[in-house]
Amino acid sequence: MSQSPTQQEVPVTEGADVSQRQSLDVLDQLMKPEVQESLTVLVENLPKLAEMVTAMTKAYDFAQSVATDKVLISDTMSAMGEFAKPVVDKAKGVASAAIEANDRAQAEQTSVGLFAMLKMLKDPNVQQTLRFAQSFLSILNERGQQQR
C-alpha cells in the first residue's frame, strides 16, 4: 500500500486531538478585538477586583461561621419563639372567638331589631369597633385621594 506524499500519518490519540482543538478555539477567541478589550479592562481593574474578592471572602467566612454556630442558631430560634409566642396566642384567641361567634350566629334564628341595635350601640366594645372602622375607612379614603 503506497501513500501519497501529501498524506502523512500522524499518531494522534483522540484525547490529544480534542485538547488541540480546544486550544485552537481558545486562541481564536483571544484574537477577537472585543475579547482583547475586555481583557484590557479586566487587567486595569485587577486591584479593585482583588479588593472586592477579599471583602466577599471575608463576608463569606463570617456568614459560614454564623451559619454553623449551633449556640447562635439556638439562641436566635429561642428569641424568635419568645417574640412570636404572644402574637400566635393572640391570633389563636381571635380565631377561636370568631369560630364561636359564627357557631352562635348560626344557632340563633331571631332577627335583630332597631331597639336591639340601639341597645348594642351602648356596648363599649361596639363603640370601640365602630371608632376603629370609622378611622380605618377615613385612612383608606385619604390614601385613595392621594393616589389620584
SS (H, E, C) 58-83: HHHHHHHHHHHCHHHHHHHHHHHHHH
Round to whole Å and give the CA distance between 111 and 90: 31
Identify the domain containing residue 104 by its residue range: 78-109
pLDDT band at 7 (very low <50, low <70, confident <90, very high): very low
- Domain presence at residue 73: no
Evaluate whether residue 148 is within a structural domain: no
Position 123 pLDDT exceeds 60? yes
pLDDT tens for residues 15-37? 567 677 777 788 888 888 998 99
Domain count, the chain: 3
Does residue 4 fall inside a structural domain? no
Q: Has residue 125 been placed in a domain?
A: yes
- Let me know if residue 2 belongs to a domain: no
pLDDT in tens, 58-101: 999 999 998 899 999 999 999 999 989 999 999 999 999 999 99
Same domain, yes or no, for 35 and 59? yes
**Distance (Å, whole) CA 102 – CA 95:** 11
